[in-house]
Amino acid sequence: MTTSSLAIDTAEVRRRFSSLSRGFHFFDSPGGSQAPDSVAEAIARTVRDASANLGAPYETSRRVGAILEQAEQSAARFLGCSPGEITFGLNMTTLNFALSRTAGRHWQSGDELIVTALDHDANVAPWLALAADKDLTVHTVRCNDDTTLDLDDLRSKLSSRTRVLAFTWASNAVGTITQAREICALAHEAGALAWIDAVHYAAHEPIDVVEAGADVLLCSPYKFCGPHLGIAFASERVARDWDAYKTRPTPELPTGRRLATGTFPFESLAGLIACFEHLQEVGGMAAICDYERTLGEQLLAGLPDSATLYGLPGLDGRVPTLLLNLDRMPAREVSRALAERGFGVWSGDTWYSLGLYERLGYEGEALRIGIAHYNDASEVDALLEALASLA
């Protein structure tokens, strides 16, 4: 359906996705989004026409060189940094294990790291592992009852020994948004790096790493209609001095390429360029954000009375990702019953957010519903009807 009052023409958007043309209502974008056909075509075209490695004089090699450059430029535009500050990797988790090692290579026993109870483990486990190997101390910032971060607790944990403050910009489980600018400023006051997991946030909101004050920020294009990849921004200011784990012939500059290892996945990078073009063509992240928010409000307003919603009570301070349980029907059964009716909604226990899971304290699993810009109002109505019939 077309939403005339909003900047997104959903009918036009949905035509871009073959996967959405089969009567399947997909509400699990937090797990991994659908990709438009243009992304698939760009990947296939690259395998056909540009299979080569970088740096040779022949045509196919020049083509992969151009793809890498364009991918860096588009990713830099998406995040608000310069192309030399972009690093690509297999996924966010792999990049985060690698970059945390690089940043912490010369940290000393007794240095301190801060993580949060709201985070996905991909931004906790790498720091715990680094701390175990180098005898560092890890502090965990607690969550308030409403799943916002306790900033007083955060302040109390910062010290002159803090080397990094690692936090998520939005929870992949409950959608809670953190005060990234304020948190980065607190990290910098203590002389620590501000290290942001933006995997969930980047799928819903525009990002400007400079405005936020991030030193490092990571995201995953497969959460916003792109291929399976990870992207890291590492500020030139801090990363140029890092002693990268790299092969000796790899040049020192640009810094982003020095931090990547091995041959790039050129076909996926071509898909990434197509993904950024898609996001621009449908209106850009600001329009996507507004549109998704409207659908989120619709979803929230129509939830059955028997639904228990976790996290913040409304959409203020959260991206449109809802975690809930219905009375008397386990989430796993709800998810299965919805699947039989053509809805893609997942149930899970921790959502890899172990601190949050402990804090929320629900038994077993909960149902996560995520809105993306390719969802429309009629699908949300249909989902609400299905939930009401199950409730």
What torsion, rounded to 10 degrees, do the Cα atoms 153, 199, 235, 98 define? Answer: 90
Question: Which position among 149, 199, 214, 345 is part of the footprint of ligand PLP (CB under 6 A)?
Answer: 199
C-beta closer to ligand PLP: residue 230 or 320: 230
**Size of the residue set binding ligand PLP (CB under 6 A):** 12
CA distance 353 to 121: 6
- Judged by beta carbon, residue 8 or residue 372, the one nearer ligand PLP is 372
Which has the closest alpha carbon to 115: 152, 149, 79? 149
Instruction: Report how far residue 379's alpha carbon sits from residue 314's, in angstroms, rounded to the nearest whole number.
Output: 20
Q: Of 169 and 266, which has the nearer Cβ to ligand PLP?
A: 169
For residue 308, give both structure tokens.
């228990």
- DSSP at 6: S
Asked if residue 120 binds ligand PLP (CB under 6 A), the reply is yes
CA 38 from centre of chain: 21
Q: Which is nearer to ligand PLP, 199 or 260 (CB)?
A: 199
**Cβ 383 to ligand PLP, closest distance in Å?**
21
Considering the complex, state which of residue 61 and residue 91 has its C-beta at the smaller distance from ligand PLP.
91
Q: Tell me the two tokens of residue 61.
A: 């090699």
* Cα 140 to Cα 154: distance, rounded to the nearest angstrom: 8
Q: Is 122 in the site for ligand PLP (CB under 6 A)?
A: yes
Q: How far is the CB of 384 from ligand PLP (least distance, A)?
A: 25
Q: Is 313 helix (H, G, I), strand (E, B) or coil?
A: coil
The span from the CA of 273 to the CA of 280, in Å, is: 11
Nearer to ligand PLP, 120 or 258 (CB): 120
Instruction: Write the interaction track for ligand PLP spanning residues 64-103; mark x where CB under 6 A is met and - where it is not.
Output: ---------------------------xxx----------
* Cα 285 off chain centre by: 14
Q: How far is the CB of 159 from ligand PLP (least distance, A)?
A: 26
Binding positions for ligand PLP, 146-185, rule CB under 6 A:
168, 172
Question: What is the binding site for ligand PLP (CB under 6 A)?
Answer: 91-93, 120, 122, 168, 172, 197, 199-200, 220, 230
